[in-house]
Amino acid sequence: MSSSPDIAGILDNTKELDRLRKEQEEVLVEINKMHKKLQATPEIVEKPGDTSLSKLKNLYIQAKELSESEVTVSNILLSQLDSLLPSGPTGQQRRKLGNEQKRKRMKVDSDVRVSPSMRNQIEAYASLKGEQVAARVTAEDAEKDEWFVVKVIHFDRETKEVEVLDEEPGDDEEGGGQRTYKLSMSCILPFPKRNDPSTTQEFIPGKHVLAVYPGTTALYKATVISTPRKVSFFPAPFQTRFNNV
């Protein structure tokens, strides 16, 4: 039968798709391990000879390449299926099938790529609407980081961007009015909740933190010397340690 080679090709590509997804799962497991390691001991990256950030970058590169390969194989499969489906009056059915496959593929991609810890993080950021947070408003390649206390007005689950409002912009802002920013999750640092002891942290001497300039919403990087009873420090997020990853 003339279609046998086409069927064999489809089966080969489905096997390749399964292989790519399994490799993605393995890479994601390693990425999550690195995240936990950095969360537990963020100071490790400052030790001479530590390669944690390099390893994390390589894992992200590998995950990106696997994802791109998966898209390529999926497109090939769609083309192979289109070539086997009858043309003419059933074109609408073919388009419907393609759309269903695309939706299923997007769902599988989402299930594979979004780990439980990432889902929890997304839910946590979605719950920040209306709350004040610390935000880095400068670009990743900026010579100097600028942090401000801002108000969260929206979180986009698709792009994973946080829209914030600077309620008290500096004097050098054009027009002197309020300004909004759309920032990545890594640029946002939620404040500890007063009614949730699990979110509080111990500020030991030598710890790197963000501190508030008196009478302003501006933040600056500082190092803890001693810890009084009431402090206005906010620990810098470990994500900011590898912005260029």
Give the residue numbers spanning the domain of 153. 128-191
Q: What share of residues in the chain are helix, strand, coil (percent, to 5)?
A: 50, 20, 30
**pLDDT of 231 above 60:** no
Q: Which of 80, 105, 136 is the last residue of a domain?
A: 80
* Stated pTM of the model: 0.44
Q: For residue 51, what pLDDT is reported?
A: 87
Say if residue 14 is in the same domain as residue 70.
yes
By the 10 Å C-beta count (0-12 exposed, 13-18 middle, 19+ buried), 174 is classed as: exposed
Locate 106 and state its tokens: 């997007």
The residue that leads in pLDDT, 119 or 222, is: 222
Cα(146)–Cα(189) distance, integer angstroms:
13
Give residue 191's pLDDT band: very low, low, confident or very high (50, 70, 90).
Answer: confident
Whether residues 144 and 175 fall in one domain: yes
Answer whether residue 64 is part of any domain: yes
| Residue that finishes a domain, picked among 148, 174, 191 | 191
Specify if 51 maps to a domain: yes
180 Cβ partners below 8 Å, 6+ apart? 153, 163, 164, 165, 166
Report the candidate in 69, 77, 54 with the shortest Cα–Cα distance to residue 24. Answer: 69
12 and 67 housed in the same domain = yes
Share of the chain above pLDDT 70, in %: 71
The reply to whether 204 and 187 lie within a common domain is no
Domain assignment present for 91 = no
Q: How many structural domains is the chain composed of?
A: 3
Are 176 and 224 within one domain? no
- What is the rounded CA–CA span in Å between residue 81 and residue 92? 14
Question: Is 98 part of any domain?
Answer: no
Cβ neighbors of 106 (< 8 A, separation 6 or more) are none
Q: 89 pLDDT band (50/70/90 cuts)?
A: very low
Mean pLDDT across 44-55: 85
Reply yes or no on whether the pLDDT at 164 is more than 90.
Answer: yes
**pLDDT (average), residues 64-81:** 87
Average pLDDT across the chain, whole number: 77
- Is 38 part of any domain? yes
Contact assessment for residue 13 and residue 73, using Cβ atoms and an 8 Å cutoff: yes
Q: What is the pLDDT of residues 132-160, one digit of tens each?
A: 999 988 887 778 888 889 999 999 988 88
Angle between helical axes of 52-84 and 4-40 (0-180°, round to 10): 160
pLDDT at 218: 85
pLDDT surpassing 50 at residue 243: no
- Note whether 183 and 161 are within 8 A (CB): yes
> Residue 153's domain is classified under what CATH number?
2.30.30.140
From 28-42, 77-91, 113-127, 158-172, the region with the lowest mean pLDDT: 77-91
